[in-house]
Every structure is written in C-alpha cells, then in structure tokens.
Amino acid sequence: MRMLVTGGAGFIGSHLCERLVNEGHDVLCLDNFFTGSKRNIAGLLDNPRFELIRHDVTTPVLLEVDRIFNLACPASPIHYQYNPVKTTKTSVMGAINMLGLAKRVKARILQASTSEVYGDPQVHPQNESYWGNVNTLGPRSCYDEGKRVAETLMMDYHRQNNVDVRIIRIFNTYGPRMAENDGRVVSNFILQALRGEDITVYGKGEQTRSFCFVSDLVEGMLRMMECPDFTGPVNLGNPCETTILEFAEKIIALTGSRSRIVFRPLPADDPKQRRPDITLAKKMLDWEPTVNVDEGLKQTIEYFSSVLSAG
C-alpha cells in the first residue's frame, strides 16, 4: 500500500517509516524538519520504496495514498511551547488538510493524539471514556487543545463525510532517536547521567509517568490502522507507572553514573499522575507492550552513548 507518514522524520515517525518499508509498503515521509531530522531517516533515503517530501502540514498537499498516519506536531514541552501559535495551527490545520486529502482520495487516516487530552487527570488510571481536565489558558494548552480539536475534526469528518478515521492516544514513549535537545525526561536524565552532570528532577519527583518503548507503540499503531470498523480513540502506552524520582534512580543505576539528583521547580500545569488503562487496546487490538523498561532503557542508553561519542 501507499502510506503517508506526516512527521515521518521525527522520533516516532522514523521508526514507523522503517517498519512500513520493511513490510514492503511504499512510504511517503512528509516533514518540515522543525523537530525531525534527516539523520533519523538516513537509513531509508536510498530505499526505492521510500520518498521524502519537505512540506508543512498547515498548507494543503495533493498526493495519492491509501493510508495516512498523521504525526506531524512537535511533542516535547520546550518544542511545542517555542511557537505555541504554530503548534495549534499544526494540529488543527494539519488535521483539516490531512482529512481533506483522506476524503478526496478515500484513504484511511490515523491521528496521533495524546494522553495530554486528559490534562492533569482526576481519574486514575486514564481510560478512553474520561473527558479530561485540561487548562485552556496555560503554557501546555496549545498542544493539549490543538490535539483535542484534531480529535473532534476526525470524528466530524467521519460522521459528516464518511472518512475512515482512527484515533490513538499515545502515552509517554521513549527509545533511540529521541532528540537530544528536547528537554523530555528520558533524554534529559540519560544525557545528564552519561555526562556525569546533575540529574534535574522537577518538583519533588512525586509525579508519575508510564513509559512505553517505541517498537511496542509502532506495533499498536499498525494494529489500530488495520483494525476494521473501530474509530477509537484507543490508549496506547505501557501501564507500568513510576515516580520521576524513582525513574532518576533507575537511570543512575543502569548507566552506573556518579551523577547526583538535584531538585528544580515544577513547570506550570505539569500533570501529577499518568497511567494508561489499556483494557480497550487489549480487547480490540490484542495489543499490549512486550519490552520491559530496563531492556528499553538499555537500548536508549546505548543510542545516546553513540550520539555522544560521535560528538
């Protein structure tokens, strides 16, 4: 099939492109390189089944495809807060443009939504029927509300125009090719540990997250795309929950680092707890994560070590 992956040069998108090419599909990777990089897709550039298009999803594009994976959007707080107006435009206009394309060529479209649609959740763990607790005015709102509107657009194009849509809500995902400079906890802690710098825990480190390895996520995305008659939304994440302080200690142990833990102010609207309820994914997609956190972190640490030694 002809697969379009928007945001295909990013962290998750590059793993998805690789998997699709390996399965024999023709892959169009569309990216404006805001947070993605050619390095992420370097291994694919010579493959005849892979094509790269430099394009911004906020403007329409004419293509012939069978499937659209809509991932284009910066995902880390420092990147999506760098130009918040553009972040909302990317989610909202990107969804409109990709849905317009899906409608015209009758392609199925999968939207990469996020656990951030649950905001600072008052229901724990989060299941898909929870409507969320999102601040419309804060520094995270451009991302959270943009993604919420994208979900709305998916369902309205589905009801109004019969577009075949799929919505996944991705929880914190990690692995090789995360950007070094994205300020997310996994990349920050591993790089700090490898460099022997202080590990910066925000707040008291009591807030929780649940980390999913990227290959598990990609498997879930493919299953959802090919699942018949199921729009979602469906949570995709690893339910194994940890406090950020425990996570810092784990990274120190796995890297054998001598770094110390230091405490820094908690950013505004930082969700206090997050863990996916994946009952629906298990039932509808027969999916659950298979890579345990120690194994996934080992691969990620090896990746960042090689990035550091390459200078």
- Residues within the interface to ligand NAD (CB under 6 A): 6-7, 9-13, 31-36, 56-58, 71-75, 79, 90, 94, 112, 114, 170, 172-173, 179
**How far apart (Å, rounded) are the C-alpha atoms in residues 27 and 307?**
27
Of 25, 270, 299, 303, the residue at the interface with ligand UDP (CB under 6 A) is 270
H/E stretch holding 209: strand 208-210
**How far apart (Å, rounded) are the C-alpha atoms in residues 249 and 126?**
26
Q: Based on CB atoms, which residue is closest to ligand UDP, 185 or 293?
A: 185
Q: Which does 188 bind (CB under 5 to 8 A by kind): ligand UDP, ligand NAD, none?
A: ligand UDP
Q: Where do we find the tokens 């707040």?
A: 203
Q: How far is the CB of 197 from ligand NAD (least distance, A)?
A: 23
Of 207, 215, 255, 300, the residue at the interface with ligand UDP (CB under 6 A) is 207
Q: Based on CB atoms, which residue is closest to ligand NAD, 248 or 257?
A: 248
**How far apart (Å, rounded) are the C-alpha atoms in residues 114 and 119?**
10
Q: Based on CB atoms, which residue is closest to ligand NAD, 141 or 172?
A: 172
Is there a contact between 59 and 72 (Cβ–Cβ < 8 Å)? no
Instruction: Give the count of alpha carbons within 13 A of 17, CB side only.
Output: 31
DSSP string, 66-98: SEEEE--S--SHHHHTTSHHHHHHHHHHHHHHH
Q: How far is the CB of 201 from ligand UDP (least distance, A)?
A: 5
| Contact call for residue 113 and ligand UDP (CB under 6 A) | no
**Parallel, antiparallel, or unpaired: how do β-strands 241-243 and 208-210 relate?**
antiparallel
- In the three-class reduction of DSSP (H, G, I as helix; E, B as strand; rest coil), residue 170 is classed as strand
Of 202, 243, 261, 269, the residue at the interface with ligand UDP (CB under 6 A) is 202
Q: Based on CB atoms, which residue is closest to ligand NAD, 81 or 263?
A: 81
CB atoms within 10 A of CB 278: 25
Which amino acid does the sequence have at 268? A
Q: How far is the CB of 150 from ligand UDP (least distance, A)?
A: 17
Q: How far is the CB of 114 from ligand NAD (least distance, A)?
A: 4
User: What are the structure tokens assigned to 9, written together?
Assistant: 């040069």
Binding pattern for the stretch 68-97 against ligand UDP, x by CB under 6 A and - elsewhere: --------xx--------------------
Q: Could you list the active site residues?
A: 143
The residues of the shown chain that bind ligand UDP, judged by CB under 6 A, are: 76-77, 172, 184-185, 188, 200-202, 207, 209, 244, 267, 270
